[in-house]
Structure formats: structure tokens, C-alpha cells
Amino acid sequence: MVNNRFYSKILISGEYIIFQGAKALAVPYKNYSGKLDFITDKSIHDKLENHSNKVFQDLNKYFDKTLSGSVLTNKFKLGKFNNDINNGLYFNSNIHEGYGIGSSGALTAAIYNNYVNNREYFFNNEFHNKILLNLKNELAYIESFFHGKSSGIDALVSYVNKPLLINRNSIEVTNYKIEKKPQLTILLIDTGQTRNTQDLINRFNNEIENKKLFKLLENGLIPASNSFTDALIENNIPGIFKNLQKISEFQFDNFRLLIVPEFLNFWEQGLKSGKYFLKLCGSGSGGYLLGLINDFEYFNNVVNLNFPSINYEIVNC
């Protein structure tokens, strides 16, 4: 068990609109990872480890109440899970929680891998759509404990450890890679703030009932995001930035409450210059932002001159 490591993820496209049928592209990000482990005598006073064990205790209560009738009925080793929790089970992880890179997804993948009987297996490295969809649904059940409602995508990427292209009724493995290029650099930009993903998702789900917002998504954000996803897969640089600009403008105009206020000017400067664009990474309101840069020298000068306290990391995966 302790040798199975599960990685964080980056959702490059499709945040908030997967449930509305939009395409999404998600990739595993191996800079951060976690694995199941047990608290030892030497680490018994570690607050993070004890907090993680408490999360498992609460997850166990969730299983007690909801497992019967779920997609994992008669498949989950509840007794073994309970016994391991009592023996100090925790998730040994360096994935930042509340940052939009799948900390709960990696934890879910680890739980699924260790405690589910007859789980979905992949034969000869073949990832069939039906298997991926079934697996996503089973993982979504576990991950819903953390977010109230989950697509299962974060956990699926972590479990499969492959880039995934998600469409309304299909999931497929892609060979998409993120590499720094002169014309395209992808960054994770640290806002320095954590957030509560479940509260944000619940708020969005309530607001989506507003017909005006739904029309804006249907006619604006979803088509732009789908075209952006296609351009990423095709490595169509002009198409990437053309549609990314639409996404960034839409989020700036309509999701402003999900952008940390200190980053609004930085976001707007990218839109005005056309040299870089920012978008939400996950649910927003903190954590990471995703930056796509077509003039890295310009971007770096803007940061050094106007926003020197901003920290970012270049994504290669």
C-alpha cells in the first residue's frame, strides 16, 4: 500500500462547465503527490497527520450512511478501512489543499485503489471508454464526500495517471504534454490563499439556475472552452490564444467574485496587452490561477515591475 503514489492534477479546460456538457482536458501533475501511510510513534504529534486521520474517520461515517445503494455497494472493504483508520491511517501528501490541483482527487484515488474489491482494471494499457466512465462514477461517489457533488475527473486523472480528454459521453486518454515553448508557456500562479471548494461549487450550482447566466454559459463560455480544448489537443497556437482570450474575458466579467481581488489588475493587464491570459484553476477564489503566456519576457517584466510578490511555477508534464 505505501508504495502506491497518486499525483495531483491540472484541469486545463472545463472548470465549472463539465456538468453542463463542456469538453475538458486534465493532466496529471507529478510535482505534487500523496500516498496512504500510517502514523508512527515518532510522528504521532504531527497535526497534519492527525488531521488527515480525522478526515478518514469522517469519511468512514459517510460510507456508513451512504454505501448501501451506491455504486460501490458490496465492493468496498469497510471493515478493513475502519481497522486501518484505528491503526493510524493517514494520507501522506505534499499536495496543497484548497489550491485547485486535486488534493482530494489523489486521496480518493488512493482509497479506491486500496479498499475497493473488483475495481476497474486496465488490460495491456488499454483504456476503453466504458471502463473509464464506470471508474469515473465510482470515484465520484467517494470524492463527493469532499465537494458535495463531484465529477470524479480529478480522482480519475490521478488513478489512471494519464492526460484525459473528457466529452459529454466519452473519456479518452490523450498523449497531450505540457512543455515550455517560445510561443506558449503554462504557469501555476499562487494567490497565497486557500478556499473551500464545496462552498464555491454549491454557490455556482445555485446560480446556474439563473436563466441569464445559463444562456451566457451556453452561448459564450462553453463554445469558447470547447474550441480552446480542441486547439490545445491540436497544438494550434493561434486557436489556443484566440479562445483563451474569450475565456479569460468571460471569467473576468462574469466570475469576478471568484478572482482574488489583488489579482484583478494583473488579470486585466494580460487582457489589455494580449501577451498573457489568466483563467481559473479549479473553483477559484484562491489557490492557483492558470496562466498561459505567449510572450514570457513581457510577462516576467510585468511581474517584476508591478507584482513582485507573485509566485509562480512553470508547468512541465
pLDDT per position as a tens digit, 120-166: 666 555 678 888 999 999 999 999 999 777 889 999 999 999 999 99
- CA atoms of 30 and 9, how far apart (whole Å): 8
pTM of this prediction? Answer: 0.90
Q: Are residues 53 and 105 in the same domain?
A: yes
Q: Are residues 200 and 300 in the same domain?
A: yes
- CA atoms of 270 and 268, how far apart (whole Å): 5
Q: Is residue 111 part of a domain?
A: yes
What DSSP character marks residue 96? Answer: P
Distance between the two ends of the chain, CA-based, in angstroms? 25
Q: What pLDDT score does 257 carry?
A: 83
Which of 173, 203, 238 terminates a domain? The answer is 173
Q: Are residues 84 and 201 in the same domain?
A: no
Which residue from 305, 262, 265, 312 is spatially nearest to 288, judged by alpha carbons? 312
Q: What pLDDT score does 284 carry?
A: 75
Q: Are residues 35 and 82 in the same domain?
A: yes
| Of 127 and 52, the one with more pLDDT | 52
Mean pLDDT of the chain: 89
pLDDT band at 2 (very low <50, low <70, confident <90, very high): very low
Share of the chain above pLDDT 90, in %: 66
Q: Which domain holds residue 285?
A: 185-314
Which residue from 201, 153, 134, 140 is spatially nearest to 9, judged by alpha carbons? 153
Q: What is the CATH number of the domain that holds 56?
A: 3.30.230
pLDDT per position as a tens digit, 179-232: 888 899 999 999 988 766 566 565 655 555 566 677 888 889 999 999 999 999
Q: What pLDDT score does 1 carry?
A: 46
Q: In whole angstroms, how far apart are CA 205 and each of 143, 258, 261? A: 17, 14, 22
- Full DSSP string of 148-192: SS--SHHHHHHHHTS-EEEETTEEEE-------BTTBEEEEEE-S
Q: Is residue 179 part of a domain?
A: no
Number of domains making up the chain: 2
Q: Is residue 180 part of a domain?
A: no
Residue 11: is its pLDDT beyond 90? yes
Q: Are residues 18 and 41 in the same domain?
A: yes
Q: What pLDDT score does 125 carry?
A: 59
pLDDT band at 243 (very low <50, low <70, confident <90, very high): very high
Which residue from 240, 238, 224 is spatially nearest to 186, judged by alpha carbons? 240
Say if CB 275 and CB 190 are below 8 A apart: no
Q: What pLDDT score does 92 carry?
A: 94
Amino acid at 301: N
Q: What is the CATH number of the domain that holds 298?
A: 3.30.70.890
